[in-house]
Every structure is written in C-alpha cells, then in structure tokens.
Amino acid sequence: MQFLDKIESPKDLKKLTNVELTKLAEEIRQEMIDVVSVNGGHLASNLGVVELTIALHRAFESPKDKIIWDVGHQSYVHKLLTNRKESFKTLRQFGGLAGFPKREESIHDCFDTGHSSTSISAALGFAKARDIKNENYHVVAVIGDGAMSAGMAYEALNHAGNTESNLIVVLNDNEMFISPNVGAMSSYLNKIRTAPMYDKKKKEIEILLKKIPAIGPSVAKAVEKAKDGIKYFLVPGMLFEELGLTYLGPINGHDIPSLEKVFKQAKLKKGPVLVHVVTCKGKGYEPAKQSPDIFHGVGPFSKETGELIKKDSPPTYTQIFGQTICELALKDDSIVAVTAAMGSGTGLDDFGKLFPQRFFDVGIAEQHAVTFAAALAIAGLKPIVSMYSTFYQRAYDQVLHDICLQNANVVLAVDRAGIVGEDGPTHHGIFDISFFRAIPNLTLMAPKDENELKHMIYSAFTYKQPVAVRYPRSIGIGVPIDETPVVIEKGKAELLRQGKDITLIGYGPVVYMCLQAAQELENKGIDAGVINLRFINPLDHELILNEAMKSGKIVTVEDHILNGGVGSAILELLESHAARNIEVERIGYEDYVEHGSIPQLYEAYGITPQKIIESAEKLVRKKARERLLSGQE
C-alpha cells in the first residue's frame, strides 16, 4: 500500500497532494474490503466515510482535537489513519482491535461508543470541560442520519443550541440506517440534501429579503414574519438554525478539498455548528453499494463476487422467531410488531412485507418503541416489540413504567441475549435478566432451543400480561420444529434429568451444556440432575426446591452477568425458604465481556461443559469431606 504505509499518524496526511489523497482513499477501501471479507464487520458504513475521515484528520488535530464517532461502527478508516494499520488484520478478533472506538486502544479514540446517538452529548461534555478549564481544542461529533433519529440526539441538540460553547456536529447523511431510513427527520434531510450550499445562498437570501419594503410598524411585523417564512422555505437546514446551530451544507462527502474547506469554516464559527455532509453508503465496492443493508454488518464474503460465505446450518433463533410471528399474525389480525431500526436484524422483514399496516419501524428510538407498544396494547391490540437485549437497556423505564406498572399485554422479544461475539462489550446482551427480573408483572422466559422458542412466543400472547422472551444470536440447536405451537404452563420448569448427587440448573441453550456435563459426570460416578428453567420469572419454586433438597447441591449456569442473574435468584429462593444448607456454585460472567467469536469467549470466560463438571465435582467433594468430618460416613 504505497500511501497508506506512509501514514503513521494523522499529521502525515497533510503531506499528501489531492491526487495522492485520492489514491490513499482507494488503498483504504481495498484494505477494509480485504480484512472485512475475512473477519466480517461494518463494511458499507466505513466505505462511505473514507474521504470524510481523511478530511477530518487533515482539518483537525487529533488527539488534541476530539473526534467522537457516533455508534462507532464507522471508525475503521479512523483506526487505519491513527497508527493501527499493522493490527488492522486482527479487527474484531479475540485479543485484536475492537470494531468500535475504544479509549484503551488509542489516544485518538477519545470516547467509547457502540450504542447510537451519544456523540453530541459527549461532544458537549468535552466542550464544556474545555471551557471551564480554559483549554483550547475543537470538538467534533460525527453522527449518521440514522443515529439522528434517536431522542438522545435531540436532547443534546436542545442543550447545545442553547449554549455559547464551540462545538461541531458533522451530520453524515447517507439516506440509510441499516435499512433505508424512516421518519420525518429523514424526509426533511431528503428535501435539503440536494439544495445548494447554504452559506452562499444565505447571503443572497438576506439581500433579497432586505429589499422587501417596510410599510408602517404593524405591517412591518407581518412582513418580518413572512420573511422568516420565506427563509424557512429557501434555506436548507433552517430547522437546525432555529435550534441555535449554524448550519453549513449540504457538502459532497466524497470531495476532500470541499470537506476540508467547510471544516475550516466551521472552526472559525462561534457556538455550535452543524455541517451536513452527503455520502454514499458502500461507495467504491459495487456489492456494498447495491446492498448497503446486507453489507452494513456482514460476515465473511467473497471479495470477487460479494457473495456471503454460508455454511449449511440450522436456522437461527431470529429466523424461527420471524416465521412464528408471521404464522401467528396470519391467524390473529390484532397482532402488530414494533422494532427500532432493526427490522432485518430481528427477523421482522417478512412480517413487514406481509402486514405493512401492522408493522412499525420507528427508527433508532427504543424508548418510544416501548411506550408506543404499551398504548397499542391498552387500546386493544397485541403488540410484540422486537429489539436486541443490549438496546432494551435504553428503554428500561418505559418497560417498567409504561408496560409493567399498567400490566399492559405487550410481548417483548429480546433478541441477541447472551454474548453476541465480535461486536463485543457494547453489544453483549448479558444484563437483561438482572434488570428485567426486578420488575413486577413481567414474565421472563428463555427457550433451551429454537422449537421451544416457537412455543414460548405463542404462549406469551396467551398470558395476557407483559412477557419478555430472551433468545440468543446464534443458530439453533437443529431440533425439529413442531407444526403447531402449544401453551407452556406459566412458571413451569422442565426436569430433563433426575439426579441424586447434584442439580444443574440452566436456561437458554446452555441447558444443552448442562446435559452434556451431566452425561460426563455420570461416567465419573456422579449422578447429576438437569433443570431447564424456562421461566426466570416466576421461578418454579416447587421443582427447584424439591430437586435441591434431594441433592443438596446446585450448579447454576447462565450466559449472563452473575450480579442479579438467575444464580442470584436461586440463592434468594433458598434463603427465603430457609434452605441455607444447600451449596450453590454459580457460573456466569463476573465483568464486561470482550469481543471475539462466541466459542472463544465461552472458553475464555468459562461457560463450558468442562467448567460445569469442575464446579459439580468441587461441590460433591466438598460435601463428602464435610460429611466425613461430621462423622456421618
């Protein structure tokens, strides 16, 4: 790579001519295609910001100036330009570069991101800190038109527009979220995307408006109002100006000299500035340009054809969810589905096509999605909200306050529960049990396999109360799928195997790890029982206590943080039944989990049959020693 190899730090960019910069952009695209075609990753978004990132690093001085990448999935170019090109091949791999900005990875990553729409708030925080400490640097938030749909972005704009602090918001407008964009803000941006650059036009409009004569005070007032109205129609970005930001744009986001020019202009303005940059998602690689949604977050693919490398495998939980909800909705027209910019990720694409009137993609607006669904339910429909576990974190109050406190009949499909692999700590769904378990009225379920998922989704609609069903990102176990779903009795766990020496308790697919461990323990002379919990709330007190009393020892296993997880719930249950002599070992995560493939992470963090066996043996040995010492044997 003739030019990329020369870039040790962003400063080196300033030595290149325009022609060389164009060649550098080509090399960066090639490098990203090479690496992402093997490791998977967020290709289309990164292809779209190559020139934008180069121009930002020429116009600003990172790390002194702070550049905050919203979501951060588009930070690959930034990583390549900030001394990480040698390690770029390890992108998203266990122990390698993260797929998102990470402060501990580089001084050029000034703020960790992963969840959408945090950048303007963070940028304003930096700007205020700078002002209070009398420091001198620029702060830039780079936010996509998708991320601009979330409430947090408006909360931050509302605050920013009312301050004097210098701050630059770069709106990267590519007409796409993961799927084509939705919502009124997107329609607004669509309208102004092709308008001529504001600054030049603004002057012409001001001159034109000044020519309108004033005739007496009252008429003058009306004329002023009319002028504002005319300006509103003629000036692109007026909405942002009204919010107190200076609007610059729209700018072609693939023209480095124009971008640099506008950034230099923005640096000179006082107060908050919004630079509207228009880019093309997937630029420079035809398959990604044609299908930016598929290449938004993509697995390994053939560089030559753009075809995804698919293995013969069972359907994913998400696919079974998508099929089930379509089957149910065909028979029941009160079922409606809500998602927050994750239609394809949550398997609702087919639902959207079959029932367009009953499908709502509300944009990146998890809080709104949940409250909206609460009212749909209270008004007599049967809404299912489908989002990733990690994004429900955004909507906790809405689940608690709007759905559960009112006991609204909403089903929450909690996709990507458990670790998700290469996207890492910002995206692992390992907290939902802890935060949902605390909420009264919320039934909380987890299927051990994809067939049980079908029955659980069906059952959830029959309980007539708030229900959350959590299931993982992975492919299913490969079990046959029953044609007709049946109702699972609420709160009933499943005893998969009797055992007198120890009881293994799991939920979700780790139940199969428990079964494997039980089999291997049998070979070692330990008789282990296995409970598939199915319900985390309410717990099956009777079955758990019965089995625990028999064996006196429990190992709980969960693809979840230990704090407040099911292991904790079982300890609480034993405590409240004064069953304190039962020994419990809990397996789960003790901390945030890094990025890497799911099998690697399971191995590294000890979610394995081997770990279950070790924990079981430890407990059995401990009890035997105690018995020996107390003279019972």
Ligand X SMILES: Cc1ncc(C[n+]2csc(CCOP(=O)(O)OP(=O)(O)O)c2C)c(N)n1
SS3 558: strand
The single residue among 174, 316, 451, 459 that binds ligand X, judged by CB under 6 A, is 174
Dmax (CA) for the chain in angstroms is 108
Smallest distance from ligand X to CB 272, Å: 19
Rg (alpha carbons) of the chain, rounded to whole number: 28
131 φ/ψ sector (left φ>0, alpha ψ -120 to 50, else beta): alpha
* 611 makes contact with ligand X (CB under 6 A): no
Question: Rounded to whole angstroms, how far apart are CA atoms 13 and 28?
Answer: 13
The single residue among 144, 425, 506, 508 that binds ligand X, judged by CB under 6 A, is 144
**What secondary structure does DSSP assign to 410-433, as a single string?**
-EEEEES-B--STT-TTT-B-SHH
Query: Residue 12 burial (CB < 10 Å; 0-12/13-18/19+)?
Result: middle
- Pick the catalytic residue from 366, 422, 558, 583: 366
* 35 makes contact with ligand X (CB under 6 A): no
The single residue among 56, 68, 127, 178 that binds ligand X, judged by CB under 6 A, is 178
- Pick the catalytic residue from 130, 394, 416, 473: 394
Window 537-576: contact mask with ligand X (x via CB under 6 A):
----------------------------------------
Nearer to ligand X among residue 144 and residue 418 (C-beta): 144
Stretch touching ligand X by CB under 6 A, among 6-14, 142-150, 312-320, 555-563: 142-150
Residue found by looking up tokens 């703020």 in the block: 111
Residues 6+ apart with CB under 8 A from 210: none
Sheet of strand 335-339: strand arrangement: 359-361, 335-339, 382-388, 411-415, 467-470, 443-445, 535-537
User: First CA to last CA across the chain, in angstroms?
Assistant: 73
- 281 tagged catalytic: yes
Considering only residues 73 through 132, tell me which ones interact with ligand X, judged by CB under 6 A.
73-74, 115-116
C-alpha 94: how far from chain center: 19
Nearer to ligand X among residue 71 and residue 400 (C-beta): 71
Stretch touching ligand X by CB under 6 A, among 68-76, 89-97, 432-440, 564-572: 68-76
Smallest distance from ligand X to CB 73, Å: 5
Residue type, 595: H
Stretch touching ligand X by CB under 6 A, among 103-111, 121-129, 171-179, 222-230: 171-179
- 366 tagged catalytic: yes
Smallest distance from ligand X to CB 214, Å: 44
Smallest distance from ligand X to CB 343, Å: 10
Length of the chain (residues) = 633
How many residues make contact with ligand X (CB under 6 A)? Answer: 22
Backbone angles phi, psi at 323, to 5 degrees: -65, -45
* 45 makes contact with ligand X (CB under 6 A): yes
Smallest distance from ligand X to CB 174, Å: 5
* 189 makes contact with ligand X (CB under 6 A): no
Nearer to ligand X among residue 69 and residue 198 (C-beta): 69
- 269 tagged catalytic: no
- Pick the catalytic residue from 85, 102, 130, 281: 281
Stretch touching ligand X by CB under 6 A, among 17-25, 67-75, 186-194, 303-311: 67-75
CB 385 within 8 A of CB 359: no
Crossing angle for the helix pair 256-268 and 50-59, to the nearest 10 degrees: 40
Window 301-330: contact mask with ligand X (x via CB under 6 A):
------------------------------
* 147 makes contact with ligand X (CB under 6 A): yes
* 177 makes contact with ligand X (CB under 6 A): yes
Nearer to ligand X among residue 45 and residue 53 (C-beta): 45
Question: Rounded to whole angstroms, how far apart are CA atoms 27 and 7?
Answer: 12
Which helix H or strand E contains 47, and what residues bound it? helix 43-48
Question: Rounded to whole angstroms, how far apart are CA atoms 123 and 120?
Answer: 5
Q: Write out the residues near ligand X by the rule CB under 6 A.
A: 45, 71, 73-74, 115-116, 144-147, 172, 174, 176-178, 281, 296, 341, 364, 366, 391, 394
Which are the catalytic amino acids? 281, 366, 394
